[in-house]
Chains A and B, each alone.
Chain A
Amino acid sequence: MKRTLCFAKRNLKEIVRDPISAGFGIVLPIAILVLLSIINSNIADEAKNDMFEITKLAPGIGVFGLSFVSLFAALLIAKDRGSSFMLRLYTSPMTGSDFILGYALPLVPMAAAQLIVCFAAAIALGLPVSVNILLCIAVCLPIMIVNIAIGLICGTCLNEKAVGGLCGALLTNLTAWLSGCWFPLDLLGGTFKTVAYILPFANAVDAARAAIDGRYSDIPGTLWVVCVWAVCLMAIAVAVFAQKKKLK
């Protein structure tokens, strides 16, 4: 466990000291939150558009912001793999679980910090302070694990350049479009909506919104899908990493 914690501490420092992480992980989601809140304040009441209301927006942005966790994880692993530093670690007594946990653990406080900053900004923009915010943060845990697992898989399989494209552009866009955090999925409906609800992102946003609204009985109905994805993707991440680490 000491090895895992040493490695996790190193990884946390690497992420925190990378200005791109702070920029994308914290500043960008808040900028979007503020921007959409300003747009919302300028929508006439007659339009009856509640899409960008802070109670809907904050949980959506919270889930969307977590997609950057994949980018942090994938970039760090891909960079390590591309350097001799990984060779040094492979010759050390570190085991597969030391590696996986060492990469995953520091992302938990990073993601928690992201959510806390996001909801603090939302409170400043008018989100009522309640215990439901804490519940919402807890409900975001499974989608956080989904994103960590995606990051582990991409970082293990792809090089740094490909990771930037896949996690930095494709995944964040997928999360944005298929989570329903920008617009109601009912607007498009059909196959788009079906696919969105097979994937974890829209379910995560719905569960987070139910938590903020205090609709507690609605949470398990969508959160279980996210939990299944989290377990499956983490199992795949462990298997992929173990396979790559195996002796050639």
Chain B
Amino acid sequence: MNAIETKNLTKCFGAVTAVDALDLTVREGELFALLGVNGAGKTTTIKMLSGLLKPTDGTARILGYDLAGELPAIKPLLAVSPQETAVAPNLTVRENLELIAGIYGSDRARVQKMIDELGLKKAEKFKAKTLSGGWQRRLSIAMALVSDPKLLFLDEPTLGLDVLARRELWKVIEGLRGKVTVILTTHYMEEAEQLSDRVGVMNEGRLLMSGTPRELLDAAGTENFEEAFVRLAGGETA
């Protein structure tokens, strides 16, 4: 089954078209990266697919449900880790996880599982606001996973992190492969290449191409992923 199917999905803000007639299919269990420069329409796409923004035009089916008419049925199945760290600052790591688990009706064992699996044990009693950026991101992803979602949106999960913290988060994200459908937005080429089963390249609101990292390299006629992105985003193909 496809986790996501969009047809002609469009979002306009006044005269500006942020997402332009997006046709996208993501299979269940796939780790799909939306790659694009700032303002390419990645975050707007995620916001539409997670029910935060109403599409101007087009349709979307999420996990078999119609996004426009069946949002209450979709919401318990998806989770979002927004671009900026989304944690309750005065709550401890464990309390943050318990809050989200409570909202989604997950049990306490799931909280412990997330603490163990995401290596949060040594920080579990610390207030979220006292954590470093990397730990806050890790907590933010754990909060998204604690509800055991079928579909997870990770919006620029490693933005602003140092190399070590980024690599740590990569391990976490790679661990999700095959268990959860993950839509990851990033403008780091190596991140998309390293983590994703398939990549969609967006520019100025349009999906220019989607395929495996190998297919994108072949289409651009280069072995360098960054070069491939530059060529594809610039409209060049081999």
What is A's interface to B at a CB cutoff of 8 Å?
Answer: 2-3, 5-7, 9-10, 13-14, 17-18, 83-85, 87-94, 247-248
State A196–B181 Cα separation when bound (angstroms). Answer: 59
Contact: A85 with B90, CB < 8 Å?
A: no
Contact: B76 with A87, CB < 8 Å?
A: no
Q: What B residues does A94 contact at CB under 8 A? A: 103
Contact: A84 with B103, CB < 8 Å?
A: no
What is B's interface to A at a CB cutoff of 8 Å?
Answer: 50-54, 72, 75-76, 78-91, 95, 98-100, 102-105, 127, 143-144, 147
**Contact A84/B85 with A18-B90, A92-B75, A92-B103 known, Cβ cut-off 8 Å:** yes
Can you spell out 27 A-B residue pairs with CB atoms less than 8 angstroms apart? Answer: A3-B102, A6-B98, A6-B102, A6-B103, A9-B99, A10-B88, A10-B91, A10-B95, A13-B90, A14-B90, A14-B91, A84-B82, A84-B84, A84-B85, A84-B86, A87-B52, A88-B80, A88-B143, A90-B51, A91-B50, A91-B78, A92-B103, A92-B147, A93-B103, A247-B51, A248-B52, A248-B54
- Of all chain B residues, the one with the shortest Cβ separation from A248 is B53
Q: What A residues does B88 contact at CB under 8 A? A: 10, 14, 85
Q: What B residues does A247 contact at CB under 8 A? A: 51-54
State A88–B52 Cα separation when bound (angstroms). Answer: 10
State A6–B106 Cα separation when bound (angstroms). Answer: 12
State A104–B90 Cα separation when bound (angstroms). Answer: 18
**Contact A13/B104 with A87-B86, A88-B80 known, Cβ cut-off 8 Å:** no
Contact: B100 with A92, CB < 8 Å?
A: yes
Q: What A residues does B103 contact at CB under 8 A? A: 3, 6-7, 89, 92-94
| B3 nearest CB across to chain A (Å) | 16
Q: What A residues does B90 contact at CB under 8 A? A: 13-14, 17-18
Most chain B CB within 10 A, of A7, A88, A90, is at A88
- Of all chain B residues, the one with the shortest Cβ separation from A6 is B102
State A89–B82 Cα separation when bound (angstroms). Answer: 11
State A163–B206 Cα separation when bound (angstroms). Answer: 40
Q: What B residues does A91 contact at CB under 8 A? A: 50-52, 75, 78-80
Most chain A CB within 10 A, of B82, B103, B144, is at B103
- Of all chain A residues, the one with the shortest Cβ separation from B49 is A91
Q: What A residues does B95 contact at CB under 8 A? A: 10, 13
Contact: A7 with B99, CB < 8 Å?
A: yes
User: Which of B76, B86, B105 sits near A2, CB closer than 8 Å?
Assistant: B105
- Of all chain B residues, the one with the shortest Cβ separation from A85 is B86
* New A-B contacts (6) at CB < 8 Å, excluding given A87-B80, A92-B103, A93-B75: A7-B99, A84-B82, A84-B83, A87-B52, A247-B54, A248-B52
Which 6 residue pairs are nearest across A and B when measured between Cβ atoms?
Answer: A6-B102, A84-B86, A84-B82, A247-B54, A84-B84, A88-B86
Contact: A85 with B72, CB < 8 Å?
A: no
Contact: B99 with A83, CB < 8 Å?
A: no
| B155 nearest CB across to chain A (Å) | 9
| A22 nearest CB across to chain B (Å) | 13
Contact: B75 with A2, CB < 8 Å?
A: no
Q: What A residues does B54 contact at CB under 8 A? A: 247-248
Q: What A residues does B78 contact at CB under 8 A? A: 91
| B94 nearest CB across to chain A (Å) | 12
Q: What B residues does A88 contact at CB under 8 A? A: 80-82, 86, 100, 143-144
Contact: B143 with A10, CB < 8 Å?
A: no
Q: What B residues does A84 contact at CB under 8 A? A: 82-86
Contact: B99 with A10, CB < 8 Å?
A: yes
State A10–B128 Cα separation when bound (angstroms). Answer: 13
State A7–B88 Cα separation when bound (angstroms). Answer: 11
State A14–B95 Cα separation when bound (angstroms). Answer: 11
| B101 nearest CB across to chain A (Å) | 8
State A83–B82 Cα separation when bound (angstroms). Answer: 10
State A5–B98 Cα separation when bound (angstroms). Answer: 12
**Contact A6/B99 with A90-B52, A91-B51, A248-B54 known, Cβ cut-off 8 Å:** yes
| B140 nearest CB across to chain A (Å) | 8
Q: What B residues does A17 contact at CB under 8 A? A: 90, 127
- Of all chain B residues, the one with the shortest Cβ separation from A87 is B82
Most chain A CB within 10 A, of B53, B88, B98, is at B88
